[in-house]
Amino acid sequence: MTKVKPFSLFTDFDINLFKSGKHYNLFEKFGSHIVTCEGEKGTYFSVWAPSAKSVSVIGDFNFWNSEEHPLYVRWDSSGIWEGFIPNVGKGTLYKYAIISNNNDIKTEKADPYAVRCEHPPRTASIVWETSNYKWKDKSWMSYRKEKNGLDRPYAVYEVHLGSWMKNVEEDRFLTYTELSKTLVEYVKELNFTHVEFMPIMEYPYDPSWGYQITGYFAPTSRFGTPQEFMGLIDAFHDADIGVILDWVPSHFPSDAHGLGNFDGSNLYEHPDVRKGYHQDWKSLIFNYERPEVRSFLISNAVYWLKNYHVDALRVDAVASMIYLDYSREDGEWEPNIYGGNENLDAVSFLKECNEAIYSMFDGVQTIAEESTAYTGVTNKVEHGGLGFGMKWMMGWMHDTLDYFKKDPIYRSYHQNEITFSLAYAFSEHFMLPISHDEVVYGKNSVLGRMPGDEWQRFANLRLMLGYMYTHPGTKLLFMGAEFGQYNEWNFQTSLDWNLLEFEPHIQTKNYVKTLNTLYQNTPALYEKGFAQAGFEWISYDDHKNAVMSYIRKGHDEQNDLIVVCNFTPNSHEKYDIGVPRKGILVEIFSSDSSEFGGGNNLNTKAIKAKKTTLNNKPYSVTIIVPPLAICVFKYK
């Protein structure tokens, strides 16, 4: 009896779409699928290996013998090998044994489309089904478009699942199921609107933090099964919290079981090392010129949005994709056909990917981690842009952290560093990130870089976060910063939760919770978050006192906010600023409140605007400005 039966899930139309790079649901065809063939239950396997001489399925069902179950190559020059193996079912371990036409090179590869993988360091794929999961987030999905819109508040808590919290007694990770309770409750308690997971796709090497992926379609088995990961997303949606996944279409590792040299040829990676090898990360770069590779990547993005109900993808290392000379010296890269340094194929891939995502899904976003001044990252593709919904504002992040590191005595000489971001804040749809990259490799924790004594360090942290939340753009905060972690982030250990036994850390956590509430309940902070019309300077040039003030605006001027930041430890009991109209101002928020650990030097009385011109405004007010603090006022 034939051990492998001819069988296919592909139609001629599928093949044409795949070969032209336009098939965005390849996960429904490639990989392992439990099916019934001629009345027999078993598993259909299919894999793309155009340079192969033979491809066999090896696994625990045939003692990993490559002679037992050879697949059939399709007749249509698609390079696809496929076949049905009876009596192979859910939970079976398998790989593909490939002999190449290229010097008979032999490889044993995990399935690029596997939906579940073995727990690292084991590397086999697992036959699995995910379609049997019963989603409970119908309500969330029905209003997600409104919740996830660009005119809505976005306060994102960035999490590395392996080191957020550990089971100390058993010295292990928390599972997806445990996180469905503890992490969801914590993010909800702090009033974040979204959570972002650093890559959860299967990765072999813990120190890569997940950014070196071998199983693009499989949530890592470190924390449980695919269904349990779905349960975690469901739990967040039930708590009214959106889920963002880090996605890495920029590069992949050269591990023996991964995508590299897949069929004895440069199948997924570009054959020219100038375009196909990343020197910084010692990894391989996808070949964006190859239609089948583009189909693979766009299908992967679609897969997480479709099958896992994910609400946004944060696309990693976009700058490394779009520039041929990224981190390369002269002679290590070749200009494009126009003599420029843009990777035209990567650019067109990103455009196509964003167009596909926004046309197929309502209410999702893509967010670019793009660190250069490339223009139009968040412009629509039809307007010449890359088509992302948002872009990380890396310049703001670096300038702000550098400024706050300085002793306040020197800040008056660097006022332009803290105000400069507003010169370009509306050139893109910016997200303000205080990300994981800023609290590792000797950079220190956010609290750890703050100058001064203990009180001043916490006051500086509150001021910086308050400035971030009242600055135009959406927000992202990496785990640990919300309670003032002293140590740098270490992916091998849990956050220092013991700090929450001490009052300054409890107060800081309460402060972030209150900031998130203020942000979500104050339309002036988000309705025009990407528009020049949402921001107006009052004064940015009081270098002497290192004080700046500005207005945040929404659709209704009755809701406008007046924000004042004092970047030194000097208190001002009578500080004058201009205001746009007459009326009574009340202080609705101060980082100097005693509940947050401040000195409680507050504007407790209503303040009447005087008909005195100041800062090019027709009226003015006299206010108390406490040390190292941010104060927010509203017209009564």
Which residue type does 311 have? D
Is residue 497 a contact partner of residue 168, using CB atoms and an 8 Å limit?
Answer: no
CA 478 vs CA 101, 160, 193, 199, 561: distances in Å:
48, 9, 14, 14, 27
For residue 208, the SS3 value is helix
Pairwise CA distance, residues 544 & 411, whole Å:
9
User: Is 382 a catalytic site residue?
Assistant: no
Tally Cβ neighbours within 10 Å of residue 212: 22
Secondary structure of 305-321 as H, E, C letters: HHHCCCCEEEECCHHHH
| CA distance from start to end of the chain | 84
DSSP 501: G
Q: Write down the catalytic residue from 14, 158, 228, 369.
A: 369
- What sign for the dihedral angle of Cα 100, 103, 109, 112? negative
Nearest of 215, 209, 300, 217 to residue 252 by alpha carbon: 215
Which residue type does 504 have? P
Half-sphere exposure of 470 (CA within 13 A, CB side): 29
DSSP 165: -
Nearest of 256, 253, 255, 259 to residue 281 by alpha carbon: 253
Q: Which two tokens stand for residue 164?
A: 């957020």
Pairwise CA distance, residues 216 & 81, whole Å:
20
Please give the torsion angle defined by the CA atoms of residues 130, 229, 47 and 38, in that order, rounded to the nearest 10 degrees: -10
Cα of 612 vs its chain's centroid, Å: 47
Pairwise CA distance, residues 157 & 509, whole Å:
13
- In the sheet that holds 607-608, the strands lie side by side as 535-542, 547-552, 561-566, 629-635, 584-590, 607-608
Nearest of 396, 388, 386, 387 to residue 423 by alpha carbon: 396
The neighbouring-strand residues paired with 323 are 342
List Cβ neighbours of 373 (8 Å cut-off, separation of 6 or more): none
Which residue type does 399 have? D
Pairwise CA distance, residues 590 & 3, whole Å:
73
Q: Write down the catalytic residue from 202, 234, 292, 316.
A: 316
Pairwise CA distance, residues 468 & 476, whole Å:
9
Buried b (16+ CB within 10 A) or exposed e, 514-531: bbbebbbebbbbbbbbbe
User: Is 170 a catalytic site residue?
Assistant: no
Please give the torsion angle defined by the CA atoms of residues 435, 436, 441 and 447, in that order, rounded to the nearest 10 degrees: 70
Nearest of 476, 132, 469, 137 to residue 311 by alpha carbon: 137
Pairwise CA distance, residues 360 & 349, whole Å:
16
Supply the DSSP string of 389-427, one letter for each residue.
SEEE-HHHHHHHHHHHHS-HHHHGGGHHHHHGGGGTTTS
Q: Which two tokens stand for residue 241?
A: 């919290």
CA 314 vs CA 389, 391, 417: distances in Å:
10, 9, 27
Which residues are part of the catalytic machinery?
316, 369
